[in-house]
Amino acid sequence: MARPRHTGPGPSQRQLRVGELIRRTLSDVLTRGEVHDPELNAMSITVGEVTVSPDLKVATAWVLPLGGDKRQEAIAALSRNKGELRRAVSREMTLKYAPDLRFRIDETFDRMDATRRLFGQDDVRRDVEAGRDDADG
């Protein structure tokens, strides 16, 4: 089971802003193939979200390769190039220190598909509709 991304009271506005800036920067760098790694440049990787620690020193990028295949290869390639990716992020930011980058597989799409399949089952749909009728009653 995947750990929740956010624990505690939730991220601050600053964490959210920094996370989004890092997400856009990583997406741009990966899209343009600016990393000197042919294996990484051959992959199409989506950066769905970046969560940042409260002290802004650690940023976790939630990624998924196109089609969901080769997940471990993508994580390995990103991790292998995290120094170069960190330098690319630091060029775009006005923080005192560039955060340490960590890469994890974004399982959001898998959970959405599982939820859609669950709600598509006849008995679940019938229970949901019965619950709606009870609420209207």
pTM of the predicted protein model = 0.73
- Do residue 51 and residue 63 come from a single domain? yes
Residue 66 sits in which domain range?
13-106
Per-chain mean pLDDT for the chain: 84
- Do residue 88 and residue 21 come from a single domain? yes
- Do residue 100 and residue 116 come from a single domain? no
* Within a domain: 6: no
- Do residue 132 and residue 72 come from a single domain? no
- Do residue 99 and residue 112 come from a single domain? no
- Do residue 47 and residue 101 come from a single domain? yes
DSSP the chain: -PPPS--TT---HHHHHHHHHHHHHHHHHHHHT-SS-HHHHTS-EEEEEEEE-TTSSEEEEEEEEGGG--HHHHHHHHHHTHHHHHHHHHHH---SSPPEEEEEE--HHHHHHHHHHHHHSHHHHHHHHHHHHHHH-
* Within a domain: 123: yes
pLDDT digits (tens, 9 = 90+) for 22-62: 999 999 999 999 999 999 999 999 999 999 999 999 999 99
